[in-house]
């Protein structure tokens, strides 16, 4: 479950802008745009993104937001495929929404990209005490990909998933069948990866694909925390993208976003109040967290 969520039935919100709630309306899906619709809903649900977008001179997300506002005033909804070649790819085939999210963020100014960036530092050293050779590689990333542990009961909480990925990676792990390039000793290399300097937004992507590019549909993600702590910073849940189908380039994408204590399900043009979190869902793919102020 998502902590702090209460259970209730869904009810449609036909005009959320008129209800006094700061939630976007839906987007048209005239083909295969659901993956883009879900990602944009989650991105523009975060106040720091909207504030930065509005202050920017020009960027991909600002063009989306401007078009959205103009068409909303006329009572119409935005079709993201109208921005083909800009924010929307020229290829109209359905795509992986994590790839789309990454590309959209990369198309913006450094000031906006800095909201999402964090450092991943991977260290590899020789455990031979007579060598201790150390090499480090530093990467600046936007998305944090979460490996899925092998589970007997096929269910996992968000806390355990973070522990498996972030906490466990801090520990030195042996690299099988490795050889040190300095002392040429076999099987003595160990590695660790740490996260440094996370910014205002963290986007987690569950690595659900197997070697055949089929989606893992057995994992049940439970107890999605409404707040988490990474590198001594507190983050609160903002939204999630769900994928329904066997492959990430097939099926259907939806989103759930949170404003205050209220949850909304965004399914293309349809936006509905949703107090019941889909506990034990097998369809959660991306999770968006915003730094707590």
For residue 208 the two structure tokens come to 């659900």
pLDDT tops 80 at residue 137: yes
pLDDT in tens, 20-38: 335 577 899 987 899 999 9
pLDDT tops 70 at residue 171: yes
Long-range contacts of 18-22 (CB under 8 A, 24+ apart): 21/259, 21/262, 22/259
Nearest residue to 2 via CA among 287, 292, 202: 287
pLDDT tops 50 at residue 13: no
Helix segments in the chain, DSSP class H:
34-44, 47-55, 60-73, 97-106, 110-113, 158-162, 168-169
- Interior CA angle at 256 toward 252 and 257, to 5°? 140
Report the percent of the chain where pLDDT is more than 90.
Answer: 39
Among 7-11, 150-154, 226-230, which stretch is predicted with the lowest mean pLDDT? 7-11
- Split at pLDDT 50, 70, 90, the class of 241 is very high
Tell me which residue has tokens 């909304």. 264
- The pLDDT assigned to 11 comes to 45
- The pLDDT assigned to 285 comes to 93
Backbone angles phi, psi at 64, to 5 degrees: -65, -50
Nearest residue to 95 via CA among 253, 254, 248: 248
For residue 289 the two structure tokens come to 């967290």
- Split at pLDDT 50, 70, 90, the class of 153 is low
Tell me which residue has tokens 């998502």. 2
CA dist 41 and 2 (Å) reads: 19
| Max mean pLDDT range (88-92, 106-110, 140-144, 226-230) | 140-144
Say if residues 244 and 217 touch (Cβ distance below 8 Å).
no
- The pLDDT assigned to 151 comes to 65
CA dist 193 and 286 (Å) reads: 21
The total of other beta-carbon atoms located within 10 Å of residue 188's CB is 19
For residue 96 the two structure tokens come to 């992986």
Say if residues 141 and 117 touch (Cβ distance below 8 Å).
yes
Q: Which domains does the chain have, with CATH numbers?
A: 11-291 (3.90.70.10)
pLDDT in tens, 178-198: 889 899 887 789 999 999 999
């Amino acid at each position: 479950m998502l902590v702090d969520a209460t259970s209730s039935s869904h009810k449609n919100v036909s005009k959320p802008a008129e209800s006094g709630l700061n939630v976007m309306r839906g987007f048209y899906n005239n083909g295969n745009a659901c993956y883009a619709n879900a990602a944009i809903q989650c991105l523009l649900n975060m106040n720091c993104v909207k504030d930065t977008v509005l202050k920017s001179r020009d960027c991909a997300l600002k063009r989306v937001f401007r078009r959205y506002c103009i068409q909303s005033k006329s009572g119409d909804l935005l079709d993201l495929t109208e921005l083909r070649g800009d924010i929307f790819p020229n290829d109209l085939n359905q795509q992986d929404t994590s790839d789309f999210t990454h590309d959209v963020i990369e198309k913006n100014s450094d000031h906006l990209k800095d909201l999402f960036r964090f450092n991943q530092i991977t260290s590899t050293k020789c455990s031979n005490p007579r060598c201790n050779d150390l090499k480090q590689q530093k990467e600046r990333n936007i998305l944090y990909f979460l490996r899925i542990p092998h589970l007997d009961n096929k269910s996992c909480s968000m806390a355990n998933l973070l522990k498996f990925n972030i906490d466990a990676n801090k520990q030195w792990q042996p690299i099988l069948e490795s050889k040190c390039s300095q002392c040429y000793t076999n099987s003595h290399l160990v590695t660790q990866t740490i996260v440094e300097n996370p910014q205002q937004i963290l986007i987690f992507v569950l690595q659900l694909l197997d070697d055949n590019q089929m989606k893992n549909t057995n994992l049940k993600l439970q107890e999605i925390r409404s707040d988490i702590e990474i590198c001594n910073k507190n983050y609160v849940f903002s939204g999630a993208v769900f994928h329904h189908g066997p492959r990430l380039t097939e099926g259907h994408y939806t989103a759930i976003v949170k404003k205050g204590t209220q949850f909304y399900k965004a399914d293309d043009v349809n936006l509905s109040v949703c107090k019941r979190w889909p506990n034990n869902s097998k369809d959660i793919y991306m999770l968006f967290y915003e730094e707590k102020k």
